Amino acid sequence: MKTAKEWEELYSDDDFKKKVYTGDDLGAICDGGGTSIKLWSPVAEKVEINFYKDGELGTRRYWSQPMELDYQTGVWSVYVRESLHGMYYDFAVTIDGVTNLTGDPYARAAGINGARSMVIDMRKVNPEDWWQDKAPAPTAETVIDELHVKEFSWDPRGGWSEEARGKYLAFTHNDTTLDNKGELPTGLTYLKNLGITHVQLMPIYDYGSVDENDDTQFNWGYDPVNYNVPEGSYSSDPHHGEVRVRELKQAIQALHQNGFRVIMDVVYNHTWNLDHAFQKTMPYYYYRTWEDGSLSNGSGCGNDVASERPMVHKYIVDSVLYWAREYHIDGFRFDLMGLLDVDLMNDIRAKLDDKYGKGEKLMYGEPWAADKTATTIDLAHKGNIGKLDTNIGMFCDDTRDLIKGSAGDKKATGFVNGAPRTERRLLDAVKAWRVNGSPIKTPGQIINYVSAHDNQTLWDKLSETTPDETQRMRQYRLAVAIYMTCQGRPFMLSGSTFCRTKDGDDNSHNAPIELNRLDWGAISDNTGLYRYYQGLIELRKMLPGLTDKSGTAHEDIYNEWAAADMVGYMVDNTDSDDSCTSPWTDLIIVYNRNPNEQEFDLGEDEWERLADDYDTYRWKAPEKFSGKYKVAGTGWVMFGARK
Ligand code: CA
């Protein structure tokens, strides 16, 4: 076998670089009349395809036949004059005299644990009325809730049937209530009443860290095996490849019907391990290696996908377009986007825009990596935001850490829990950091958040610095108000509305489901916090000065001032054409992180109080104020002036 370095040299060779394929029919295509299967592997000496009636490894082969190579493109193919829908298959690929069995990197369906690929005819699998499925129209503001399929519905108190708990099918129920008592809604109705517009599903592609035979296992799923196949453990039957496909589509259909757009978490930066179809069909082509042949590990997960290679680029583009087309996915959240190259990200954006309209599909990612990666190409990290399309966004760790302290250091503080010299910077955060020649093009590129699946939950993080629970809750509410009044796109970890805790765990990726599950029992003690979020979201949607995603949005923030522990600013809340769709033309927003009340001057004009730390629904029956106003300790206030 060649070494990694020798493979690298081969792939850099000009003759090799011509062996690319531009067709859109890699994998198994089954149109009813016949079945075509194609695999790109210009380095293979021989490829045989094996067919099976069963998806389980070790079961008997049904038949096998050699595949034929097209020397020009390096594509191996076979065509069978009948529908092989439901047939499982794998490839015996011989490279350098060594034969390996592997699934299809382009598999669209698979058997248990994704080991064998499956031929699928979608027309036989789609749920009823799937052809009519349509996402709700995009809204001026996006409020994103990050959900894990199993965490969402596993808690028995959530009210789901035993069969639906922890599964895709849980999303097809919108009538669940706490303890099935019919009083407090859980699940979809809980989210709908909250006012969120987008659900971001944590990995739903087939991942490797959970044995699909064992329902007790849990993982977040950032360990891709089959990029184009849904994860099996969330289906009611992972043994039959069509079930997971149908049930995920049912979940998406139900989310759409309930008014949510659906964002998929995609992890193209690494694979679970090298025991992967990528490596078995094209050794070291899909992965970055260092000069000495060692694997690059900027992901911290053992390997980095070489997104800059032409057929890897094509693979990722094809995969994103496939999910958008086949599963009606409305947006993509790129894990460790800082490992993917700028050209790839812009190309995906252009192709999605071309098919669905400009900006119609959301795209954003984590603009960082865990470590250095073995390439010199421009990568989609924070420093290169200026090179990314206007409609590619990034998680804003600056705002996150400024509000509540660094995520990497548990005891670190931010504005709400007392970090010194944070007041002025908070005014930059309000403008989505579009200050001092910042390369950020619009607030639409900024995802604002104070908690996500990574790191501690907001409640746990604040508990590190603020043992007193009453004070901690005040800081919590202030933190939420700040990021919900910044320009950008608000994002939250599911369960934030009931003070989600993971007992301080800052990396619960493989902790038991009992720790990770959404604790629906906690909603009854947190109805006040829920209403607080609800009011803030509803109010925000009425404030174009804050939700404006245009390149001039920052100009709407004016009269900023910062004092000790207190920050204030005004917002031009008219629309870009100077008309005003909102009831209020101007806003005043003041945050006070001092535990004692502090005073500021509203001036002579009368202002309506719209919201504060106590009540975010004050705008429903606003009181008027002028002159000196006292902002509560660890509190905030928003005023509005009518047209
Ligand atoms: Ca799996």
Given 335, 397, 519, 608, the catalytic residue: 335
- How many Cβ atoms from other residues are within 10 Å of residue 122's Cβ? 16
The pLDDT of residue 251 is 98
Give percent above pLDDT 90 in the chain.
Answer: 98
The pLDDT of residue 643 is 80
Q: Which band of pLDDT confidence, cut at 50, 70 and 90, is reported for residue 383? A: very high
User: Quick one: residue 256, left, alpha or beta (phi over 0 = left, psi -120 to 50 = alpha)?
Assistant: alpha
Alpha-carbon distance of 462 to 501, in angstroms, equals 11
Average confidence (pLDDT) over 362-366: 98
Between the CA of 33 and the centroid of ligand 1 the distance, in Å, is 30
The pLDDT of residue 477 is 98
One-letter amino acid for residue 540 of the chain: R
Between the CA of 113 and the centroid of ligand 1 the distance, in Å, is 5
112 Cβ contact partners less than 8 Å away, ≥ 6 residues apart: 55, 56, 57, 212, 213, 232, 238, 239
Whole-model pTM: value is 0.98
The pLDDT of residue 358 is 97
Between the CA of 372 and the centroid of ligand 1 the distance, in Å, is 28
Between the CA of 224 and the centroid of ligand 1 the distance, in Å, is 8
Both structure tokens of 583:
């009831």
One-letter amino acid for residue 51 of the chain: F
The pLDDT of residue 580 is 87
Task: Tell me if residue 366 is catalytic.
Answer: yes
Of 210, 218, 312, 332, which Cα lies nearest the Cα of 267?
332
Between the CA of 213 and the centroid of ligand 1 the distance, in Å, is 10
DSSP single-letter state for residue 41: -
576 pLDDT above the threshold of 90:
no
pLDDT tens for each residue of 118-164: 999 999 999 999 999 999 999 999 999 999 999 999 999 999 999 99
**Average pLDDT, rounded, for the chain:** 97
Q: How buried is 168 (Cβ within 10 angstroms: 0-12 exposed, 13-18 middle, 19+ buried)? A: buried
Given 8, 265, 304, 366, the catalytic residue: 366
Alpha-carbon distance of 643 to 582, in angstroms, equals 9
218 pLDDT above the threshold of 90:
yes
Using alpha carbons, list the distances in angstroms from residue 79 to 49, 55, 73, 172.
11, 21, 17, 38
pLDDT tens for each residue of 87-100: 999 999 999 999 99
Q: By three-state DSSP, how is residue 80 classified?
A: strand
Task: Tell me if residue 335 is catalytic.
Answer: yes
Q: Name residue, tokens 């006012």.
A: 195
Alpha-carbon distance of 571 to 487, in angstroms, equals 11
CA atoms within 13 A on the CB side of 189: 16
The pLDDT of residue 436 is 85
Helix intervals (H) in 154-232: 187-194
Between the CA of 370 and the centroid of ligand 1 the distance, in Å, is 24
32 pLDDT above the threshold of 80:
no
- What burial letters (b/e) apply to 408-419, b meaning 16+ CB within 10 Å? eebebbbbbbbb
66 pLDDT above the threshold of 80:
yes
Q: Which band of pLDDT confidence, cut at 50, 70 and 90, is reported for residue 33? A: confident
